[in-house]
Amino acid sequence: MSADRTGRVKRNEITAPSTRDLLNQDLAKQVRTAYDRIEDRGMSACLFGSGGTCCRHCNMGPCQIIDGVESMVGICGATADTVAARHFARMVAAGTAAHTDHAREMVRGFIATAKGETPHEIKDVAKLHKMATIFGIEIEGRDKNEIALELGEKALAEFGQQDGVLTMLKRAPKKQQKVWKKQGVEPRGIDREVVEMMHRTHMGVDQDYRNLMLQASRCALADGWGASMLSTELTDIMFGTPVPRRAIIDLGVLKADHVNVTVHGHEPLLAESLCLAAEDEELLALVKKVGAKGINLAGVCCTGNEILMRRGIPVAGSFIQQEMVLATGAVEAMVVDVQCVMQSVAQVVKEKHTEIITTNYRAKMPDAIHIQFEESEAYASAKKILERAILNFKKRGDCYIPTDKKFDIVVGFSHETINYMLGGRFRQSYRPLNDNIINGRIKGVAAIVGCEHYKYADDVHFQIAKELLKNNVLILATGCAAQALGRAGLMRPEAAAEYCGAGLAEVCATVGMPPVLHVGSCVDNSRLLIALTEMVKEGGLGEDISELPACGTAPLWMSEKAVAIGQYFVASGAHVVFQNLPIAGAKAFNKYLLGGIKEQFGACWDVEEDPIKLARKMIAAIDGKREALGINKKQDRVLFDMEMRRDMQSGQGIPGVGCGQK
């Protein structure tokens, strides 16, 4: 199934069994979902908007630009390239701002935790020490909370920093850092880069698409190597670094005899507090009183990913399923914080008992109940929310849960886990991964990340993943894309034998891992940057990320955050393919993003609508890197002598030689 710009995936074209099943039930037939709104709109998306050449940056317009037509430049004279670049750069700024504001809240929560003001504690002391060392903080003989407080304050200062270079850039491969310095794109402070991007895209400021994209790269790097990375690491320290665990996913995780509470959004501070409060004696007594068997917490979108990765809490639905979760009629409360919450959720529950509870002063909506979540009263706030949900259980009317629709998954693949899992307890390293790439069992690594939407078939992630796995490409996934791949059954170790080429299947069987590794939420794409960096540092696969046989995609991207993520990957040297980008209306800018930018960063964007062709483009990019590294040939079995092993352990690696055969 394909779709045009109108978006035309209709109810009867949905492939996800749980969604199809639910929407065919009488109680869901009246529920209006995004699929219905798409049909109702009945109009094509604006060509100018789709091509990136509609400018609304000042009140002389809006100006619709036609590239190459002299009379169709902006009223100010802005060309299609300038307008498309400004629009693209503003998406990067908006996406970065979203991650940044999320990260800031996590850092503030981290500081409050270090001060003992929340019900949480510093859990991962090893990671705390590692991060403290990166920030030049003394750890010897100091209490963990004292170190955490200093780390939190230094991290918070990076948001408002005006000059210098963000601390975590030094985690990148040395060659990468030189590229950024040469291009003048090292982020100085996280907030500063967003503000400057907004200024430079204001009417009459930066009108050179190349120059705009330099700042867009700096802004995106402030996201990936700055805000998002800080968020991931400090969240891990506070709530625990994910380790592999079994879990379940899809609408069937809801329970008819339990009080179902879903958490939706992104910031895990609230969700973690709900997890603690869900064990409260008083609340459990109240649960009994209302006749329920327990409290069933379930995740939606990336808050779901956060508690799935760290606690194994089931995920009821991804972005595209948020309305379906509510259409079941089985949810007592959907508790939301920030980002990716459709305004329609409050309408979906209008005829149901379900309460939509907003919890953050930054994100309110009409027809929802607001209970402000305060970090300083985290437990009390969480308890209040759960109490309300429990009391709501008795009001539940008709409901339908597709109980046979839940899938087993193995999740929790942080960078540390991959290190441990592949390298073993006594030799944690990426060496075996690099070796298996060098010897050809694994062709390369692909990231499938980002959102879902309604313009293309809902099994696009699965189609892309199947093609990659067949060609021995190991997949790391985050965000709602990861959830889609979990629902498709690719996060079970057994999936390796079903879907992978012989080499990758053998590696997965040896390690006992699934061929698609769930790495976390959308801020956790920073884990991928670290994983790629570790592969470079391990040796044998080039000197920076741009030389690695690796490629990324966010095919069904919806959010501006995905554009920021894509741009920080490109600026970090990783090739990125999307199904579409709003740049086609500007020829020179289009050509630059899809090619020219490679001269500066060693990587570029690519666009391909067809999922199989998209996967093949990724494979071709990976093959190109293998060719350049000289590892794209069949290799004879090479048995290692002790000297070769010593070389490998010293991190030098032996290009073209692996520990197995091909």
Helix intervals (H) in 119-189:
125-134, 144-160, 174-183
Binding to ligand MSK by residue 525, rule CB under 6 A?
no
Q: What token pair was written down for 639?
A: 């048995």
Strand order in the sheet with 605-607: 516-520, 473-478, 444-448, 550-553, 575-578, 605-607
Q: Is 521 in the site for ligand MSK (CB under 6 A)?
A: yes
Output the smallest distance, CB 254 to ligand MSK, in A.
Answer: 19
Letters for 145-164 (x = contact with ligand MSK by CB under 6 A, - = none) are: --------------------
Interface pick for ligand MSK out of 94, 558, 588, 654 (rule CB under 6 A): 558
Q: Does the footprint of ligand MSK cover residue 315 (CB under 6 A)? A: no
Contact region for ligand MSK (CB under 6 A) — 143-151, 382-390, 556-564, 588-596? 556-564
Contact region with ligand MSK (CB under 6 A), list: 69-77, 281-289, 458-466, 553-561: 553-561
Task: Pick from 128, 340, 442, 631 the residue near ligand MSK by CB under 6 A.
Answer: 340
316 counts as binding ligand MSK under rule CB under 6 A: no
Asked if residue 264 binds ligand MSK (CB under 6 A), the reply is: no
Q: Is 479 in the site for ligand MSK (CB under 6 A)?
A: yes
Can you tell me which of 244, 412, 450, 585 binds ligand MSK, judged by CB under 6 A?
A: 450
Q: How do 355-358 and 444-448 pair as beta strands?
A: unpaired
349 makes contact with ligand MSK (CB under 6 A):
no
Quote the least distance from Cβ 319 to ligand MSK, whole Å.
4
- 567 touches ligand MSK (CB under 6 A): no
In whole angstroms, what is the distance from residue 511 CA to residue 509 CA?
A: 6
Q: Could you tell me the CA-to-CA distances from 273 to 240, 265, 374, 379, 624 in Å, in that order?
A: 14, 15, 11, 6, 47
User: How far is the C-alpha of 561 from the C-alpha of 559, rounded, in Å?
Assistant: 5
- Is residue 317 part of the contact set for ligand MSK (CB under 6 A)? no
Residue 522 makes contact with ligand MSK by CB under 6 A: yes
- Contact between 299 and ligand MSK per CB under 6 A: no
Judged by CB under 6 A, the number of residues near ligand MSK is 15
| Residue 480 found at the interface with ligand MSK (CB under 6 A) | yes
Alpha helices in 24-124 (DSSP H): 26-29, 34-41, 47-51, 80-114
User: Is 412 among the residues that bind ligand MSK (CB under 6 A)?
Assistant: no
Residue 94 or 371 having the CB closest to ligand MSK: 94
Q: Which is nearer to ligand MSK, 520 or 585 (CB)?
A: 520
- CA–CA dist 311, 276 (Å, integer): 11
Q: Which is nearer to ligand MSK, 80 or 476 (CB)?
A: 476
Q: Which two tokens stand for residue 62?
A: 């809006």
> In whole angstroms, what is the distance from residue 266 CA to residue 250 CA?
18
Is residue 559 near ligand MSK by the rule CB under 6 A?
A: yes
Among 561, 575, 617, 626, binds ligand MSK (CB under 6 A): 561
CA distances to 3, 261, 340, 343, 401 from 322, rounded to whole Å, are 22, 13, 10, 11, 14
Q: What 8-state DSSP symbol labels residue 522?
A: S
Closest distance of CB 561 from ligand MSK, Å: 5
Closest CA to 366 of 387, 381, 345, 384: 345
Using the minimum distance from each CB to ligand MSK, give the nearer residue, 161 or 228: 228
Q: Using the minimum distance from each CB to ligand MSK, give the nearer residue, 118 or 339.
A: 339
Q: Binding of ligand MSK at residue 508 (CB under 6 A)?
A: no
Tokens of 243: 């380790």
Q: Contact at 8 Å (CB) between 610 and 2?
A: yes
**Interface with ligand MSK includes 369 (CB under 6 A)?**
no
The answer to whether 607 contacts ligand MSK (rule: CB under 6 A) is no
Contacts of 210 (CB under 8 A, 6+ apart): 592
Q: Which of 110, 319, 400, 456 binds ligand MSK (CB under 6 A)?
A: 319
Q: Which residues contact 335 (CB under 8 A, 6 or more apart)?
A: 261, 262, 263, 264, 270, 274, 357, 359, 385
β pairing state of 605-607 and 575-578: parallel
Nearer Cβ to ligand MSK (266/443): 266
**Would you say the C-alpha torsion 215, 235, 172, 618 has a positive or negative sign?**
negative
**Dist. CA 407–CA 486, nearest whole Å:** 7
Nearer to ligand MSK, 53 or 526 (CB): 526
For ligand MSK, which stretch binds (CB under 6 A), given 101-109, 228-236, 326-334, 558-566? 558-566
Per CB under 6 A, the list member of 278, 302, 469, 496 interacting with ligand MSK is 302
Q: Does 274 bind ligand MSK (CB under 6 A)?
A: no
Other CB atoms closer than 10 Å to residue 641's CB: what's the count?
Answer: 8
Report the alpha-carbon distance of residue 174 to residue 191 in Å, rounded.
25
Contact partners, residue 358, CB within 8 Å, separation at least 6: 336, 337, 364, 365, 368, 369, 370, 371
Applying CB under 6 A, the span of 47-55, 287-295, 554-562, 629-637 interacting with ligand MSK comes to: 554-562
> Site for ligand MSK (CB under 6 A): which residue of 292, 301, 357, 385?
301
Q: What is the DSSP letter of 205?
A: S
Tell me: does residue 144 bind ligand MSK (CB under 6 A). Answer: no
Closest approach of Cβ 111 to ligand MSK, in Å?
24
Which residues bind to ligand MSK, rule: CB under 6 A? 266, 301-302, 319, 339-340, 450-451, 479-480, 521-522, 558-559, 561
